[in-house]
Structure 1
Protein backbone atom coordinates (compact mmCIF):
# COMPACT_ATOMS: atom_id res chain seq x y z
CA UNK A 1 0.00 0.00 0.00
CA UNK A 2 2.86 2.41 0.79
CA UNK A 3 4.37 1.82 -2.65
CA UNK A 4 1.09 2.76 -4.32
CA UNK A 5 0.92 6.03 -2.36
CA UNK A 6 4.43 6.98 -3.43
CA UNK A 7 3.59 6.25 -7.07
CA UNK A 8 0.59 8.55 -6.88
CA UNK A 9 2.92 11.44 -5.96
CA UNK A 10 4.28 11.23 -9.50
CA UNK A 11 1.76 13.53 -11.13
CA UNK A 12 2.76 14.12 -14.74
CA UNK A 13 0.72 17.31 -15.01
CA UNK A 14 2.37 18.80 -11.94
CA UNK A 15 5.82 17.93 -13.22
CA UNK A 16 5.12 19.43 -16.68
CA UNK A 17 3.51 22.53 -15.12
CA UNK A 18 6.61 23.08 -12.97
CA UNK A 19 9.22 22.14 -15.54
CA UNK A 20 7.99 23.59 -18.85
CA UNK A 21 8.54 27.28 -17.97
CA UNK A 22 11.83 26.38 -16.29
CA UNK A 23 13.05 24.52 -19.36
CA UNK A 24 12.13 27.46 -21.61
CA UNK A 25 14.20 29.81 -19.45
CA UNK A 26 17.08 27.32 -19.38
CA UNK A 27 17.03 27.13 -23.20
CA UNK A 28 17.73 30.86 -23.29
CA UNK A 29 20.50 30.41 -20.72
CA UNK A 30 22.18 27.73 -22.86
CA UNK A 31 21.86 29.89 -25.97
CA UNK A 32 23.83 32.52 -24.07
CA UNK A 33 26.61 29.98 -23.54
CA UNK A 34 26.63 29.25 -27.26
CA UNK A 35 26.85 32.94 -28.10
CA UNK A 36 29.73 33.30 -25.65
CA UNK A 37 31.55 30.42 -27.30
CA UNK A 38 30.93 31.92 -30.75
CA UNK A 39 32.34 35.29 -29.63
CA UNK A 40 35.47 33.54 -28.36
CA UNK A 41 36.10 31.99 -31.78
CA UNK A 42 39.27 33.98 -32.46
CA UNK A 43 40.83 33.00 -29.15
CA UNK A 44 39.97 29.34 -29.69
CA UNK A 45 41.31 29.41 -33.26
CA UNK A 46 44.57 31.02 -32.17
CA UNK A 47 45.01 28.60 -29.27
CA UNK A 48 43.42 25.38 -30.49
CA UNK A 49 44.32 23.46 -27.34
CA UNK A 50 41.80 25.64 -25.47
CA UNK A 51 39.07 24.34 -27.76
CA UNK A 52 40.03 20.83 -26.65
CA UNK A 53 39.46 21.89 -23.03
CA UNK A 54 35.98 23.41 -23.53
CA UNK A 55 33.83 20.24 -23.43
CA UNK A 56 35.53 18.87 -20.33
CA UNK A 57 35.53 22.25 -18.59
CA UNK A 58 31.82 22.77 -19.15
CA UNK A 59 30.79 19.15 -18.62
CA UNK A 60 32.79 18.58 -15.46
CA UNK A 61 31.45 21.72 -13.81
CA UNK A 62 27.86 20.65 -14.43
CA UNK A 63 28.63 17.12 -13.28
CA UNK A 64 30.06 18.37 -9.99
CA UNK A 65 26.93 20.42 -9.43
CA UNK A 66 24.64 17.50 -10.17
CA UNK A 67 26.54 15.25 -7.79
CA UNK A 68 26.10 17.70 -4.94
CA UNK A 69 22.49 18.50 -5.88
CA UNK A 70 21.62 14.81 -5.89
CA UNK A 71 23.24 14.28 -2.51
CA UNK A 72 21.46 17.30 -1.01
CA UNK A 73 18.10 16.28 -2.45
CA UNK A 74 18.48 12.72 -1.18
CA UNK A 75 19.36 13.94 2.31
CA UNK A 76 16.40 16.31 2.19
CA UNK A 77 14.00 13.51 1.21
CA UNK A 78 15.40 11.28 3.93
CA UNK A 79 14.98 14.05 6.48
CA UNK A 80 18.66 14.04 7.41
CA UNK A 81 19.45 17.65 6.50
CA UNK A 82 18.19 21.01 7.64
CA UNK A 83 20.74 23.19 5.82
CA UNK A 84 22.43 23.94 9.13
CA UNK A 85 25.80 25.70 8.65
CA UNK A 86 27.21 23.52 11.45
CA UNK A 87 26.23 20.25 9.74
CA UNK A 88 29.51 18.35 9.26
CA UNK A 89 28.05 16.09 6.58
CA UNK A 90 27.11 19.10 4.43
CA UNK A 91 30.64 20.46 4.75
CA UNK A 92 32.09 17.03 3.99
CA UNK A 93 30.07 16.96 0.76
CA UNK A 94 31.27 20.44 -0.18
CA UNK A 95 34.87 19.47 0.59
CA UNK A 96 34.56 16.31 -1.49
CA UNK A 97 33.21 18.29 -4.46
CA UNK A 98 36.02 20.84 -4.24
CA UNK A 99 38.67 18.11 -3.90
CA UNK A 100 37.20 16.29 -6.88
CA UNK A 101 37.20 19.55 -8.84
CA UNK A 102 40.87 20.17 -8.02
CA UNK A 103 41.75 16.66 -9.17
CA UNK A 104 39.69 16.72 -12.38
CA UNK A 105 40.77 20.19 -13.45
CA UNK A 106 44.45 19.53 -12.66
CA UNK A 107 44.21 16.42 -14.84
CA UNK A 108 42.53 18.51 -17.56
CA UNK A 109 45.40 21.02 -17.48
CA UNK A 110 48.01 18.27 -17.73
CA UNK A 111 46.05 16.46 -20.45
CA UNK A 112 45.64 19.66 -22.48
CA UNK A 113 49.38 20.33 -22.19
CA UNK A 114 50.13 16.81 -23.46
CA UNK A 115 47.76 17.31 -26.39
CA UNK A 116 49.47 20.65 -26.96
CA UNK A 117 52.82 18.92 -27.23
CA UNK A 118 51.46 16.69 -29.98
CA UNK A 119 49.77 19.48 -31.95
CA UNK A 120 52.46 22.10 -31.37
CA UNK A 121 50.67 24.47 -29.00
CA UNK A 122 52.50 27.59 -27.86
CA UNK A 123 50.83 27.67 -24.43
CA UNK A 124 53.13 26.54 -21.64
CA UNK A 125 52.38 23.94 -18.98
CA UNK A 126 51.93 26.36 -16.08
CA UNK A 127 49.66 28.63 -18.08
CA UNK A 128 47.38 25.75 -19.09
CA UNK A 129 47.36 24.38 -15.58
CA UNK A 130 46.51 27.81 -14.17
CA UNK A 131 43.71 28.35 -16.71
CA UNK A 132 42.28 24.95 -15.92
CA UNK A 133 42.52 25.17 -12.12
CA UNK A 134 41.34 28.78 -11.75
CA UNK A 135 38.45 28.26 -14.15
CA UNK A 136 37.54 24.85 -12.79
CA UNK A 137 37.64 25.72 -9.12
CA UNK A 138 35.68 28.91 -9.76
CA UNK A 139 33.03 26.89 -11.58
CA UNK A 140 33.00 24.35 -8.75
CA UNK A 141 32.33 27.08 -6.19
CA UNK A 142 29.47 28.38 -8.34
CA UNK A 143 28.14 24.82 -8.66
CA UNK A 144 28.21 24.38 -4.88
CA UNK A 145 26.41 27.66 -4.21
CA UNK A 146 23.87 27.00 -6.94
CA UNK A 147 23.27 23.44 -5.72
CA UNK A 148 22.43 24.69 -2.25
CA UNK A 149 20.31 27.57 -3.55
CA UNK A 150 18.24 25.49 -5.97
CA UNK A 151 17.72 22.61 -3.56
CA UNK A 152 16.69 24.85 -0.70
CA UNK A 153 14.71 27.21 -2.94
CA UNK A 154 12.76 24.37 -4.56
CA UNK A 155 12.01 22.88 -1.17
CA UNK A 156 10.81 26.24 0.21
CA UNK A 157 8.59 26.76 -2.86
CA UNK A 158 7.03 23.32 -2.41
CA UNK A 159 8.53 21.96 -5.62
CA UNK A 160 10.29 18.60 -5.59
CA UNK A 161 14.02 19.41 -5.83
CA UNK A 162 14.48 16.22 -7.86
CA UNK A 163 12.58 17.96 -10.66
CA UNK A 164 14.49 21.24 -10.64
CA UNK A 165 18.01 21.06 -9.24
CA UNK A 166 19.84 19.14 -11.94
CA UNK A 167 18.45 21.04 -14.95
CA UNK A 168 19.06 24.41 -13.28
CA UNK A 169 22.53 23.60 -11.97
CA UNK A 170 23.86 21.99 -15.15
CA UNK A 171 22.60 24.70 -17.48
CA UNK A 172 23.61 27.69 -15.37
CA UNK A 173 27.00 26.16 -14.57
CA UNK A 174 27.52 25.57 -18.32
CA UNK A 175 27.05 29.28 -18.98
CA UNK A 176 29.23 30.42 -16.09
CA UNK A 177 31.78 27.75 -17.02
CA UNK A 178 32.09 29.22 -20.51
CA UNK A 179 32.24 32.80 -19.26
CA UNK A 180 34.85 32.04 -16.63
CA UNK A 181 36.96 29.81 -18.88
CA UNK A 182 37.02 32.36 -21.70
CA UNK A 183 37.63 35.20 -19.25
CA UNK A 184 40.54 33.49 -17.49
CA UNK A 185 42.04 32.37 -20.83
CA UNK A 186 41.78 35.90 -22.24
CA UNK A 187 43.29 37.37 -19.09
CA UNK A 188 46.28 35.02 -19.08
CA UNK A 189 46.88 34.89 -22.84
CA UNK A 190 45.72 38.35 -23.92
Structure 2
Protein backbone atom coordinates (compact mmCIF):
# COMPACT_ATOMS: atom_id res chain seq x y z
CA UNK A 1 0.00 0.00 0.00
CA UNK A 2 1.32 3.44 -0.85
CA UNK A 3 0.67 6.51 1.25
CA UNK A 4 -0.37 9.88 -0.22
CA UNK A 5 3.27 11.06 -0.41
CA UNK A 6 4.28 8.11 -2.60
CA UNK A 7 6.33 6.21 0.03
CA UNK A 8 5.47 2.68 0.98
CA UNK A 9 3.64 2.52 4.31
CA UNK A 10 5.29 -0.82 4.92
CA UNK A 11 8.84 0.51 4.53
CA UNK A 12 10.89 0.29 7.67
CA UNK A 13 13.46 2.98 8.39
CA UNK A 14 14.63 3.50 11.96
CA UNK A 15 15.34 7.19 11.40
CA UNK A 16 11.83 7.77 10.03
CA UNK A 17 10.22 5.92 12.94
CA UNK A 18 12.24 7.89 15.54
CA UNK A 19 11.51 11.18 13.77
CA UNK A 20 7.79 10.44 13.79
CA UNK A 21 7.58 8.93 17.25
CA UNK A 22 9.86 11.01 19.50
CA UNK A 23 7.76 14.21 19.55
CA UNK A 24 4.62 12.12 19.86
CA UNK A 25 5.98 10.20 22.85
CA UNK A 26 7.00 13.43 24.60
CA UNK A 27 3.45 14.78 24.25
CA UNK A 28 1.94 11.48 25.40
CA UNK A 29 4.23 11.35 28.46
CA UNK A 30 3.03 14.82 29.44
CA UNK A 31 -0.61 13.75 29.10
CA UNK A 32 -0.08 10.64 31.23
CA UNK A 33 1.79 12.67 33.87
CA UNK A 34 -1.19 15.05 34.06
CA UNK A 35 -3.48 12.03 34.52
CA UNK A 36 -1.35 10.71 37.36
CA UNK A 37 -1.55 14.03 39.16
CA UNK A 38 -5.34 14.00 38.73
CA UNK A 39 -5.53 10.46 40.12
CA UNK A 40 -3.67 11.66 43.19
CA UNK A 41 -6.37 14.32 43.66
CA UNK A 42 -8.99 11.54 43.85
CA UNK A 43 -7.51 10.14 47.08
CA UNK A 44 -10.58 10.91 49.19
CA UNK A 45 -12.94 8.97 46.91
CA UNK A 46 -10.57 6.02 46.58
CA UNK A 47 -9.83 5.95 50.32
CA UNK A 48 -13.51 5.87 51.22
CA UNK A 49 -14.38 3.26 48.57
CA UNK A 50 -11.37 0.95 48.45
CA UNK A 51 -12.92 -1.35 45.86
CA UNK A 52 -12.78 1.47 43.36
CA UNK A 53 -9.03 1.69 43.84
CA UNK A 54 -8.85 -2.01 42.97
CA UNK A 55 -10.87 -1.40 39.80
CA UNK A 56 -8.80 1.55 38.50
CA UNK A 57 -5.90 -0.41 36.93
CA UNK A 58 -8.21 -2.80 35.09
CA UNK A 59 -10.53 -0.02 33.96
CA UNK A 60 -7.68 2.11 32.67
CA UNK A 61 -5.72 -0.75 31.12
CA UNK A 62 -8.67 -2.35 29.36
CA UNK A 63 -9.75 0.91 27.75
CA UNK A 64 -6.35 1.24 26.13
CA UNK A 65 -6.33 -2.43 25.16
CA UNK A 66 -9.71 -2.11 23.42
CA UNK A 67 -8.39 0.87 21.48
CA UNK A 68 -5.26 -1.08 20.55
CA UNK A 69 -7.39 -3.95 19.25
CA UNK A 70 -9.42 -1.62 17.06
CA UNK A 71 -6.34 0.26 15.84
CA UNK A 72 -4.54 -2.96 14.96
CA UNK A 73 -7.49 -4.28 13.00
CA UNK A 74 -7.83 -1.02 11.05
CA UNK A 75 -4.10 -0.78 10.43
CA UNK A 76 -3.97 -4.35 9.16
CA UNK A 77 -6.84 -3.67 6.78
CA UNK A 78 -4.99 -0.60 5.45
CA UNK A 79 -1.88 -2.67 4.76
CA UNK A 80 -3.97 -5.35 3.06
CA UNK A 81 -5.77 -2.72 1.01
CA UNK A 82 -9.19 -3.87 2.20
CA UNK A 83 -10.43 -0.69 3.86
CA UNK A 84 -11.80 2.45 2.29
CA UNK A 85 -12.86 4.40 5.41
CA UNK A 86 -16.43 4.18 4.18
CA UNK A 87 -19.40 4.36 6.59
CA UNK A 88 -21.02 1.46 4.68
CA UNK A 89 -18.10 -0.90 5.35
CA UNK A 90 -19.71 -3.93 7.02
CA UNK A 91 -16.40 -5.37 8.23
CA UNK A 92 -15.63 -2.09 10.00
CA UNK A 93 -18.99 -2.17 11.81
CA UNK A 94 -18.43 -5.82 12.72
CA UNK A 95 -15.13 -4.79 14.33
CA UNK A 96 -16.85 -1.98 16.22
CA UNK A 97 -19.52 -4.41 17.47
CA UNK A 98 -16.85 -6.91 18.50
CA UNK A 99 -14.93 -4.29 20.51
CA UNK A 100 -18.11 -3.04 22.21
CA UNK A 101 -19.23 -6.60 22.96
CA UNK A 102 -15.84 -7.40 24.44
CA UNK A 103 -16.05 -4.23 26.53
CA UNK A 104 -19.47 -5.19 27.89
CA UNK A 105 -18.17 -8.62 28.85
CA UNK A 106 -14.96 -7.38 30.46
CA UNK A 107 -16.54 -4.55 32.43
CA UNK A 108 -19.34 -6.80 33.69
CA UNK A 109 -16.72 -9.30 34.85
CA UNK A 110 -14.80 -6.46 36.52
CA UNK A 111 -17.86 -5.42 38.52
CA UNK A 112 -18.63 -8.99 39.58
CA UNK A 113 -14.97 -9.59 40.51
CA UNK A 114 -14.87 -6.40 42.59
CA UNK A 115 -18.15 -7.37 44.28
CA UNK A 116 -16.75 -10.81 45.20
CA UNK A 117 -13.50 -9.27 46.43
CA UNK A 118 -15.46 -6.78 48.53
CA UNK A 119 -17.23 -9.65 50.29
CA UNK A 120 -13.95 -11.49 50.82
CA UNK A 121 -12.17 -8.54 52.42
CA UNK A 122 -15.18 -7.28 54.36
CA UNK A 123 -15.74 -4.08 52.38
CA UNK A 124 -18.80 -4.91 50.27
CA UNK A 125 -20.53 -2.60 47.85
CA UNK A 126 -23.83 -3.30 46.13
CA UNK A 127 -23.44 -5.27 42.90
CA UNK A 128 -25.85 -2.89 41.16
CA UNK A 129 -23.64 0.06 42.12
CA UNK A 130 -20.50 -1.66 40.88
CA UNK A 131 -22.22 -2.68 37.63
CA UNK A 132 -23.44 0.86 37.05
CA UNK A 133 -19.98 2.31 37.63
CA UNK A 134 -18.11 -0.35 35.68
CA UNK A 135 -20.45 -0.64 32.69
CA UNK A 136 -21.24 3.07 32.53
CA UNK A 137 -17.64 4.18 32.51
CA UNK A 138 -16.39 1.13 30.60
CA UNK A 139 -18.76 1.49 27.68
CA UNK A 140 -18.06 5.22 27.46
CA UNK A 141 -14.33 4.46 27.37
CA UNK A 142 -14.88 1.78 24.72
CA UNK A 143 -16.79 4.24 22.54
CA UNK A 144 -13.98 6.79 22.89
CA UNK A 145 -11.45 4.06 22.07
CA UNK A 146 -13.28 3.23 18.83
CA UNK A 147 -13.57 6.86 17.73
CA UNK A 148 -9.97 7.65 18.62
CA UNK A 149 -8.74 4.48 16.88
CA UNK A 150 -10.45 5.45 13.66
CA UNK A 151 -9.20 9.04 13.88
CA UNK A 152 -5.60 8.05 14.68
CA UNK A 153 -5.46 5.39 11.99
CA UNK A 154 -7.01 7.60 9.32
CA UNK A 155 -4.91 10.59 10.37
CA UNK A 156 -1.68 8.60 10.29
CA UNK A 157 -2.52 7.20 6.88
CA UNK A 158 -3.40 10.64 5.47
CA UNK A 159 -0.14 12.09 6.84
CA UNK A 160 1.85 9.30 5.20
CA UNK A 161 2.91 7.77 8.50
CA UNK A 162 2.63 4.04 9.00
CA UNK A 163 -0.36 3.57 11.36
CA UNK A 164 1.47 0.62 12.97
CA UNK A 165 4.02 3.11 14.33
CA UNK A 166 1.62 5.68 15.76
CA UNK A 167 -1.88 4.45 16.48
CA UNK A 168 -1.31 2.15 19.43
CA UNK A 169 0.81 4.62 21.44
CA UNK A 170 -1.67 7.42 20.74
CA UNK A 171 -4.79 5.40 21.43
CA UNK A 172 -3.59 3.53 24.52
CA UNK A 173 -2.23 6.62 26.25
CA UNK A 174 -5.11 8.95 25.47
CA UNK A 175 -7.79 6.33 26.19
CA UNK A 176 -6.05 5.42 29.47
CA UNK A 177 -6.25 9.05 30.53
CA UNK A 178 -9.86 9.48 29.44
CA UNK A 179 -10.68 6.15 31.06
CA UNK A 180 -9.41 7.29 34.41
CA UNK A 181 -11.27 10.61 34.26
CA UNK A 182 -14.49 8.94 33.16
CA UNK A 183 -14.21 6.21 35.79
CA UNK A 184 -13.63 8.70 38.59
CA UNK A 185 -16.40 10.98 37.31
CA UNK A 186 -18.94 8.17 36.99
CA UNK A 187 -17.94 6.78 40.40
CA UNK A 188 -18.31 10.15 42.11
CA UNK A 189 -21.63 10.73 40.41
CA UNK A 190 -23.10 7.32 41.25
CA UNK A 191 -21.87 7.45 44.85
CA UNK A 192 -22.88 11.09 45.34
CA UNK A 193 -19.32 12.01 46.30
Could you tell me the TM-score, scaled by structure 2's length? 0.93
Question: Is 2:106 aligned against 1:99?
Answer: no
Q: Which residue of structure 2 lines up, in the alignment, with residue 3 of structure 1?
A: none
Q: 1:155 Cα shift?
A: 0.3
Partner-residue secondary structure (3-state), 2:85: coil
Question: Is 2:26 aligned against 1:40?
Answer: no
Q: Which residue of structure 2 lines up, in the alignment, with residue 156 of structure 1?
A: 158
Residue pair 2:115, 2:124 contacting (<8 A) in 1 also: no
Q: Which residue of structure 2 lines up, in the alignment, with residue 76 of structure 1?
A: 78
Q: Which residue of structure 2 lines up, in the alignment, with residue 25 of structure 1?
A: 27
Greater share of residues in helix: 1
Residue pair 2:103, 2:142 contacting (<8 A) in 1 also: yes
In 1, Cα distance between the equivalents of 2:104 and 2:38? 25
Q: 1:9 Cα shift?
A: 2.1
Q: Which runs of 4+ in 1 moved over 6 A?
A: none
Report the aligned-residue RMSD. 1.1
In 1, Cα distance between the equivalents of 2:11 and 2:176? 31
Could you tell me the TM-score, scaled by structure 1's length? 0.95
Alignment of 1:26-175 (within 5 A): 26-175=28-177
Where do 5+ consecutive residues of structure 2 fail to align?
1-7
Which has the higher mean CA deviation after the structures are superposed, 114-123 or 66-75?
Answer: 114-123
Q: 1:122 Cα shift?
A: 4.5
Partner-residue secondary structure (3-state), 1:61: helix
The alignment of Structure 1 onto Structure 2 pairs a total of residues equal to: 184
